[in-house]
Amino acid sequence: MINKILSSLYSWILMVVLVITVITANSFYVVDTLDELSALEAKLFSTNRIISAVNKLHVVLLRAESGQRGYLLTGDEAYLMEYTETLNTFSSVAEEVEVSAFASDTPEQTDRISELLVLTKQKINSMVEIVELARSDQRAQAIDLLRSDRGLRLYNQFERVFEEVDSSERDIQGTHLASLMKLRRDSVNTLIISSATTLLLIVTIFLLLKVNARENEKHQSDLEGINEELEAKIAARTQELSVYSDELARSNRELEDFAFVASHDLQEPLRKIRAFGNRIESGYGDVIDERGKDFLARMLNAAERMSMLISDLLSFSRVSTRGKDFVDVELNTIFSGVLGDLEIAIEEKSAQVNVADMPGIRGDKSQLEQLFLNLISNALKFQPADVAPVIDIACNELTSDEQSTLLKSDEYQWIKITVTDNGIGFEQSFAEKIFAPFQRLHGRSEYKGTGIGLAVCRRIVERHNGTIAATSEPGKGAKFDIILPLDSEPFGSDNENGESSHDA
């Protein structure tokens, strides 16, 4: 399939190149032919001009000599009048011949025309001299000059040069006419070749279009078959997904039932264990030896941790199943409430908590309170014994690089809330591990907790279509970057009852 498509594409590219080449070649040939035609026409015009000019010069010379001879032989002033009119036109004719000489193709022809002009002037001067002698009553002397061979010699020289010029120009004219005829024949041949080439290109394009149409019909038929097959697979897959969805809904209901049992049936025995244990410790502490007291303390401690673990697990599971609808929430109000809840812990540790001005967002108010309560509580808890906690909470806009990594970057407006502390920190290699349930980086004897708090934080942030990440070094504190949309809707929540519970 791919090879056929590529082959068809290459064929079209080749055809386009051929068409452009043929059109370009024809255009260049037409321009070149027009240039040659213009040049030949200019040369023929120059040749005709030269022939016409020298013929006029010849006629002027003959008419002037005829008028001269008629006047000398008859004495009639009418001949003298024709002679005079002819001489008056000599200057313009001589100038025309001289100008046409510069358009000659060869220097030899230019020299011959110049020589012809010189001989013409000499002949004219000779006739003027004879006529002037006759008019000044020196008729006999004028007749003697007329009968001498000087005029004949000048005319013979003129006639020889004239014939050379005329013959040469006519040869040149014949050459140009032959070139013009050849150019015409070549143009006809080229027109035939161009027409045949264009016809061939049209036929080839038609064949390619026909082949392309057949290929398109075949591809369309194949595509329809594939679409039908895909529709059948999608229908089957949709049915499977519907079954899986029903199974998942049933599993979620079972998990909710389990959570209900855990919040009531499991907590009740634990409360009784703790209550009876406390009674034994207070009522029978005097009769129990030290080993028994140690066992009793361990039992009470284990019951308390079990109760905390069940409560934290319920909080973790209810982030999505028991979350409330999103409403407009002021983060400044949330931080004020969280700091009020932690007021005693903050005073005991002489902690300093700096909160920047926060915007309003859409979200689950109780879950956002839980999120920042967990983060600030961890910042207060994981501190060296001799260091007063300093916690900075800032709000910034996202950079273009940070926003490009988000899945729904173009759907919402985003903010980044950063929680920074000066606590004990951790290795950066544990930055993902700390968000998994039950993951602890320290022993229970050092810091209390079940390892669920940060996992709950991640689930809350993800339900708000955001991200949370941690950056830290041992002994240099930790920084948590929470990226949240300002106007999002719950992600993956089908809850419609608006209930939320974090207690057993």
For the stretch 383-431, pLDDT in tens is 888 889 999 999 988 887 887 778 777 778 888 999 999 988 888 887 8
For the stretch 196-239, pLDDT in tens is 877 887 887 777 778 777 878 888 888 888 988 898 889 888 88
pLDDT band with cut points at 50, 70 and 90 for residue 331: very high
Predicted local confidence at residue 9, as pLDDT: 63
Q: Read off the DSSP letter of residue 1.
A: -
- Please say whether the beta carbons of 316 and 456 come within 8 A: yes
How far apart, in whole angstroms, are the C-alpha atoms of residue 146 and residue 162?
Answer: 22
How far apart, in whole angstroms, are the C-alpha atoms of residue 44 and residue 34?
Answer: 15
Predicted local confidence at residue 498, as pLDDT: 38
DSSP H helices in 75-101: 77-88, 90-101
Question: In the numeric block, which tokens belong to residue 396?
Answer: 């910034």
Predicted local confidence at residue 12, as pLDDT: 65
How far apart, in whole angstroms, are the C-alpha atoms of residue 474 and residue 425?
Answer: 5
State percent of the chain over pLDDT 90: 8
Question: In the numeric block, which tokens belong to residue 365?
Answer: 């108010």
**What mean pLDDT comes out for the span 122-144?**
76
How far apart, in whole angstroms, are the C-alpha atoms of residue 14 and residue 2?
Answer: 18
Residue type, 314: L
Question: In the numeric block, which tokens belong to residue 211?
Answer: 């082949």
73 alpha carbon, distance to own chain's centre:
99
For the CA atoms of 258, 261, 263, 269, what is the dihedral angle to 10 degrees? -130
H/E/C letters for each residue in 173-228?
A: HHHHHHHHHHHHHHHHHHHHHHHHHHHHHHHHHHHHHHHHHHHHHHHHHHHHHHHH
Q: What residue has token string 């030290």?
A: 290
The residues pairing with 467 across neighbouring beta strands, listed in sequence order, are 483
**What mean pLDDT comes out for the span 117-123?**
80
Q: Which of 370, 396, 407, 417 is nearest to 488 (CA)?
A: 407
